Amino acid sequence: MLFDPKQENLPYTFALIKPDTTLKPNVVQEVVNKIEASGLTIKNFVQVQELYKEEVLNLFYKQQKYMDEIMTYMLSGECVMFLLCHETENPIMVWKKMIGNKDPLEAKKLDPQSLRAIYGTSIIKNEFHGSDDPFSANKERDIFKFPIPQKIPDFKFDKMLVSLETLFKFLYPPNLEHSNALERLDIFAIYGPCVNYHSVDQCLCRQCALIGKEHIEGVRESLIASEQTKLGIKIRPQPTTATKTQLPQRVQLPPIRLLKEEDIKSIYQQLCEKCQFHCNGYTHLQGGRNMQHIMTDQELNTLAKEMNKQEILELLYSEKGNAANVMIETIDLNEPNHYTKEMIELLFKELETDYYNRFKFYHLQNVILEDRRIRMNAWMSILINKPIHRFKNPKLVCKVPSEMRKNPESIHYTINRILPLNQTYKKKDITKMPLDFPPNLADKEKLNPNEEKLALLKKLHRDTHHMVEIQDAKKVVSNGVYLLRKYNDGRNGEWDNYSSLKGMNRGSFVNYEEKKKKEKL
């Protein structure tokens, strides 16, 4: 099992059963049962193994006084070794308490139920060994090359951890056919992060909104109660009759209008199908008072235009001076660059993720803002007709190591390109087709009688095109016209390599015939 840096390391201790006890399988099984009953979990279990002299020296290096006797005894037979973990307690202390004092005679006095008291006979043959501290456990684990025990980390909702799936829901919402992903990406970096929160007023239908409000009210009351307990305020009972006035609360919390991810998870099954689709397909940007408002598409578009205007105006001031105020009124503030999903994935390709493929928001923010600087410079080079390489990167003024420029956590993070991704991105080459392409009936040397007509049609489809003029399209197409073109660009050339039949007149295959003549020559 390889070490996975994204998983969570477990605290552990090294445990060993010495030769005399190892020779008794029934005793080993009793010990294993007691270990499991105590709450310890056995990891990386090695059934039986003989030790080498170097391993014994490394394992018992603290016992120099009895080293010769220990060496003789440990090399006399096989041992059982394993790592022990515990979910809630320190496994080192649990195992140490379980095996007891290193001297079996003392162990019988202090704890008669300990393993050394039951199975040990002397200090040398106390039959069990355990690590003294985490440093010793790590060293002893390394002696026998056990992998570090790990577990899958528990999933926790965290708004500062963003997955690509969550980001794409914000960039490409289902209700917009052609959303400007780059403008939304910039808003995400500056005002984000986007979250899977949903407003009971804006996102849910009337019936589901009532369910959401009832749940939110319960959450708010529990928050008030916990805050009162924290401050040491006694919780007074609410009045039971309408005549009694309600006592004022000393802890005030603002109204809650957003359902968080854990709230949606608890009431998801009670929502209607339409609201479930909304919760699954949309992510939002928070705003407004106490961050209890969901930004609408119109607000996001207005915000994006204002952001572009301010940044372009600053760049124009540095290049054109006061003329920038006049020029900005004539500029279309829609960003000219467009990124596809593949380009956005490529933009974040070098960033690290957690076990659940979530990025740190701060890393995404640095990368997006650096890419925005490049895009703004490219936009400005078009507006003022200035070569893009003449725009200076302000981050290159500071002399910092190259490692810091590659670190997304650093304020000096820099992308080593001057053009936007849509101008440097290379699409996958589709001209290379696999060698084991299935054979075509049109290329078959000998045809059966029932295959001749089909092979002829396939040849016509591959090597000719039937083209008609617009005014005659309905008449000709209604008579049954085949769309004749190549299979693809990779196998038979481009689809318009050859001449075609025009209308219903007799046509010629000029390019096709010329190609055949050249092949014969």
Per-residue pLDDT of 323-371, as tens digits, reads 888 888 888 888 888 899 999 999 999 999 999 999 999 999 999 999 9
Average pLDDT over residues 272-299: 91
C-alpha 376/C-alpha 310 separation (Å) is 11
Q: Is the pLDDT of residue 504 over 50?
A: no
**How many C-alpha atoms does 167 have within 13 Å on its Cβ side?**
27
* DSSP reduced 3-state for 163: strand
A 10 A CB-CB count for 393 gives: 13
C-alpha 438/C-alpha 457 separation (Å) is 18
CB 38 within 8 A of CB 178: no
Average pLDDT in the chain: 82
Beta bridge mates, 198: 259
Average pLDDT over residues 451-472: 68
CB 236 within 8 A of CB 247: yes
- Percent of the chain beyond pLDDT 90? 44
Residue 214: pLDDT band (50, 70, 90) is very high
Burial grade of 379 (CB within 10 A; 0-12, 13-18, 19 or more): buried
C-alpha 296/C-alpha 282 separation (Å) is 12
CA torsion 391-395-400-406 (nearest 10°) is -100
Q: Is the pLDDT of residue 245 over 60?
A: no
Average pLDDT over residues 223-245: 65
pLDDT of residue 492: 45
Q: How far is CA 419 from CA 147, 373, 412, 450, 510, in A?
A: 45, 10, 19, 58, 44
Average pLDDT over residues 194-212: 91
Reported as a single tens digit per residue, the pLDDT across 32-51 is 999 999 999 998 767 678 89
SS (H, E, C) 221-241: HHHHHHHHHHHCCCCCCCCCC
Q: Is the pLDDT of residue 479 over 50?
A: no
In 3D space, the residue among 407, 422, 364, 373 whose CA is nearest the CA of residue 393 turns out to be 373
Residue linked to tokens 């300990």: 114
The more confident residue out of 439 and 206 is 206
Residue 446: pLDDT band (50, 70, 90) is confident
Q: Is the pLDDT of residue 97 over 70?
A: yes
CB 34 within 8 A of CB 115: yes
Question: Tokens in use for 115?
Answer: 């393993």
Residue 187: pLDDT band (50, 70, 90) is very high
CB 100 within 8 A of CB 116: yes
Q: Is the pLDDT of residue 468 over 60?
A: no
Q: Is the pLDDT of residue 516 over 70?
A: no
C-alpha 511/C-alpha 521 separation (Å) is 15
Nearest 5°: phi and psi at 466?
Answer: -105, 110
The more confident residue out of 326 and 500 is 326
pLDDT of residue 305: 93
**299-308, 437-446, 450-459, 497-506 — most confident range:** 299-308
Average pLDDT over residues 118-147: 92
Residue type, 186: D
pLDDT of residue 491: 43
Residue type, 145: K
Question: Tokens in use for 16?
Answer: 């060993």
Least reliable range by pLDDT among 14-23, 102-111, 456-465, 506-515: 506-515
The more confident residue out of 497 and 149 is 149
C-alpha 277/C-alpha 198 separation (Å) is 12
Query: Which residues, in sequence order, are CB contacts of 73 under 8 Å at separation 6+?
Result: 18, 19, 124, 125
- Percent of the chain beyond pLDDT 70? 80
Q: Is the pLDDT of residue 249 over 80?
A: no
Residue type, 431: T
CB 80 within 8 A of CB 48: yes
C-alpha 292/C-alpha 255 separation (Å) is 8
pLDDT of residue 489: 42
Q: Is the pLDDT of residue 445 over 90?
A: no
